């Protein structure tokens, strides 16, 4: 079953108080349009992309999407813009989404598609957390909150049905696509949304973008003593050597520095805080299993590792030939390409405790991106 997306970008966004379309305003190196679109691309569930744009932004949006979709000129109202875009849809299911909702999650997109398949028409909505009233200067009516939903996008439909509904809707303006469907076709089902899926509308909403856009950067450092009768483990790989690193866990100094770099990027303290060396559970622990736990922690916060770089400081053994297997192992565990991991090694020219072969240190940097 083919799935199409209409991303509405034709609004002027006057309330945002910017001198250009709010969707295209750069915040921390990206913008609403890019973030919203990439959320859909990442699902791998969309087969066709159609964008609506105003005359002012038509060329810029066309340039940006030339490899993935087509742009249609928006109308005077949202209803008109969507109607124009629907003419180009060839999918069996069509999702319609506001370009100004960049925090849409993969879960909501998937649920929305599944509900459209099952029921024909669905809108994403969240239960009101506040009591809602109908009022002018004074309250006319209490609507409560138990059956009150706040409607968001995406809204998804069987394409043939929503086209039929829009054909009959001609001339009238509707709140959203769900209302058009409900008026002319039938029941619209609720897909449980996400409270973070807000629409960027006012100048203060751009503060939200500042907090959520852009990569996070972290730094980590570690050092362990070299002793006899211990294995030398670096990045989860056993390195042949007559000595190994001493520690409560397997003392994998590189993996420790990497974990600290990842944690620090999101202000999540450090590995001593999460895996204390007084805890018997971590005695002799395989540090790469702890790395997996760190990755789960940042996933809960909505982030993943984008790239890593690290340097190991060791007088002996020579690490040059082991770097590819260390990189490959970390790439498998973290789930990023080997090209996104840069590991280097250096001696300290005989200087200090590393130079005297008493210990090995590692320094790591991590860049995290939103999932
Ligand atoms: Mg350590």
Residue 15 pLDDT greater than 80, yes or no: no
Query: For residue 152, how far is its CA from the centre of ligand 1 (angstroms)?
Result: 47
Integer Cα distance of 61 and 315 in angstroms: 54
| Å from CA of 214 to ligand 1 middle | 29
Mean pLDDT over residues 192-206, rounded?
89
| CA 286 to ligand 1 centroid distance, Å | 12
| pLDDT of the residue at 172 | 80
Distance (Å) from CA 71 to ligand 1 centroid: 53
Q: Using the mean position of ligand 1's atoms as its centre, give its distance from the Cα of residue 259 in Å.
A: 10
89 CA → ligand 1 middle, Å: 56
Rounded to the nearest angstrom, the distance between the alpha carbon of 238 and the centre of ligand 1 is 16
Distance 224 CA to ligand 1 centre (A): 6
User: Long-range contacts for 113-120 (Cβ within 8 Å, ≥24 apart)?
Assistant: 113/3, 113/45, 113/156, 115/156, 115/189, 115/191, 116/156, 116/157, 116/158, 117/1, 117/93, 118/189, 119/187, 119/189, 120/157, 120/158, 120/161, 120/185, 120/186, 120/187
CA of residue 261 to ligand 1 center, whole Å: 12
Q: Which residue has the higher pLDDT, 22 or 221?
A: 221
172 vs 174: CA distance, rounded Å: 7
CA–centroid distance, residue 108 to ligand 1 (Å): 40
Helix/strand/coil for 205 = helix
Q: How far is the CA of 305 from the centre of ligand 1 (A)?
A: 20
Question: How confident is residue 308, by pLDDT bands cut at 50, 70 and 90?
Answer: very high
Distance 226 CA to ligand 1 centre (A): 12
Put simply, whether the predicted model's pTM sits higher than 0.75 gets the answer no
Q: For the segment 213-261, what is each residue's pLDDT rounded down to a tens digit?
A: 778 999 999 999 999 999 999 999 999 999 999 998 999 999 999 999 9
Q: Look at residue 189 and tell me whether its pLDDT is greater than 90.
A: yes
Residue 334 CA, ligand 1 centroid: distance in Å: 19
For ligand 1, the distance from its centroid to the CA atom of residue 255, given in whole angstroms, is 8
Ion ligand 1, residue ranges at CB < 5 A: 222, 256
Give strand pairing partners of 4: 48, 94
Residue 33, pLDDT above cutoff 90: yes
Please, are residues 21 and 201 in contact by the beta-carbon 8 Å criterion?
Answer: no
If pLDDT is split at 50, 70 and 90, which confidence band does 13 have? low
How far from 54 is each of 11, 40, 48, 183, 259, CA to CA, in Å?
Answer: 7, 22, 20, 27, 46
Ligand 1 centroid to residue 250 C-alpha, Å: 9
Q: How far is the CA of 216 from the centre of ligand 1 (A)?
A: 23
């Amino acid at each position: 079953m083919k799935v199409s997306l209409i991303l509405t970008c034709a609004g002027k966004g006057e309330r945002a108080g910017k001198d250009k379309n709010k969707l295209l305003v750069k915040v921390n190196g990206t913008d609403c349009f890019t973030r919203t679109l990439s959320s859909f691309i990442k699902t791998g569930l969309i087969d066709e992309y159609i964008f609506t744009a105003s005359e002012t932004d038509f060329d810029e949006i066309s340039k940006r999407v030339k490899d993935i979709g087509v742009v249609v000129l928006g109308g005077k109202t949202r209803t008109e813009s969507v109607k124009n875009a629907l003419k180009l849809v060839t999918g069996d299911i069509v999702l319609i989404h506001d370009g100004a909702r960049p925090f849409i999650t993969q879960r909501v997109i998937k649920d929305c598609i599944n509900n459209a398949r099952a029921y024909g028409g669905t809108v994403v909505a969240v239960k009101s957390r506040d009591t809602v009233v109908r009022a002018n200067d004074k309250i006319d009516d209490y609507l409560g909150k138990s059956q009150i939903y706040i409607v968001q996008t995406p809204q998804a439909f069987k394409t043939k049905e929503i086209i039929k509904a829009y054909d009959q809707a001609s001339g009238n303006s509707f709140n959203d696509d769900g209302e058009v469907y409900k008026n002319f076709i039938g029941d619209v089902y609720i897909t449980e949304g996400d409270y973070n899926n807000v629409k960027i509308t006012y100048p203060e909403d751009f503060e939200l973008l500042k907090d959520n856009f852009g990569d996070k950067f972290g730094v980590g450092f570690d050092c362990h003593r070299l002793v006899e009768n211990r294995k030398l483990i670096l990045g989860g790989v056993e390195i042949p050597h007559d000595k190994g690193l001493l520690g409560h866990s397997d003392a994998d100094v590189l993996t420790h520095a990497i974990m600290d770099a990842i944690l620090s990027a999101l202000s999540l303290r450090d590995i001593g805080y999460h895996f204390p060396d007084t805890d018997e559970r971590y005695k002799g622990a395989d540090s790469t299993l702890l790395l997996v736990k760190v990755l789960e922690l940042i996933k809960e916060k909505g982030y993943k590792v984008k790239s890593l770089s690290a340097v190991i400081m060791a007088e002996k053994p020579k690490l040059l030939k082991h770097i590819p297997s260390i990189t490959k192992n970390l790439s498998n565990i973290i789930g990023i390409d080997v090209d996104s991991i840069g590991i280097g090694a250096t001696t300290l020219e005989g200087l200090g405790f590393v130079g005297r072969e008493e210990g090995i240190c590692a320094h790591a940097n991590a860049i995290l991106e939103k999932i």
